[in-house]
Amino acid sequence: MEALGVNLPFLLVQIVNLIIVYTVITKWIVGPIMGLLEKRRETISKGLEDARVAAEARANAEKEAAKIIADAQAEASKVVREATERAESAGKDVRAAAEAEAAKAREAAMAEAELERNRILGDLRGQVAALAIAAANKLVGEALDEKKQRALIDEFFSGVKSGKVVVVGESLSGDAAEVTSALPLTSEEQDVVKKNISAKEYAFKVDPSIMGGLVIKVGDKVLDASVAGKLEGLRSTLK
């Protein structure tokens, strides 16, 4: 070794020193540093894991919150829709009740108006009879039998003669009978009609346009014994 210029004792001392330095560095410097680095790595890894868990928890919380909001909005929409439907139903009920009440009022007004019209026409019947008798007396120039004159006028308007309905050759019967006269019939005249027409129900109507006589409808059969009907028949014959 001396021939090579190497001092063996010095080399051994250097090797021992290196071993001591390596041992000291490894044990007292590198070891703690590696421990610190490992601990730091573990801390960072744990922090990343905690951050991931926190992110997942936040995402889950946001999803749950979104679900809660969506459910709340759906429930609110349902409540609003049901309230709207109830309001519309209540409005319909109120409108229906108001319309029914208005229809009832109209029917009552029409019935009252018809009663008043019939009363006026009934009064007019007596006035027409009186005027007709007066005109006949003036035309003839002498007093005529007022009783006979009035009977003729009553027959003209009522279609009832000698206690019978003036409907030649017809027998009427059915469930319901509708009798129309030019002026309101008296209760006695209505009784005559009921005796001559067999029905379960009777409806008496007034239509001045038929001028006189009666129009009788039983079921699908209609007998026109009115003055207007006779005039129309005469007009058709003359054409």
86 within some domain? no
Domain that holds residue 206: 159-238
44 within some domain? no
192 within some domain? yes
pTM of the model as a whole: 0.45
Q: Is the pLDDT of residue 222 over 80?
A: yes
Lowest mean pLDDT across 33-47, 137-151, 184-198, 214-228: 137-151
pLDDT tens-digit series, residues 152-202: 666 766 677 766 776 645 567 788 989 998 888 888 888 888 888 888 899
Q: pLDDT higher for 195 or 29?
A: 195
Q: What is the pLDDT of residue 142?
A: 47
- When pLDDT is cut at 50, 70 and 90, the band that residue 203 belongs to is very high
Three-state DSSP at 234 gives: helix
- Domains in the chain: how many in total? 1
71 within some domain? no
Q: Is the pLDDT of residue 65 over 70?
A: yes
Q: What is the pLDDT of residue 181?
A: 86
For 26: left if phi > 0, alpha if psi spans -120 to 50, otherwise beta; the answer is alpha
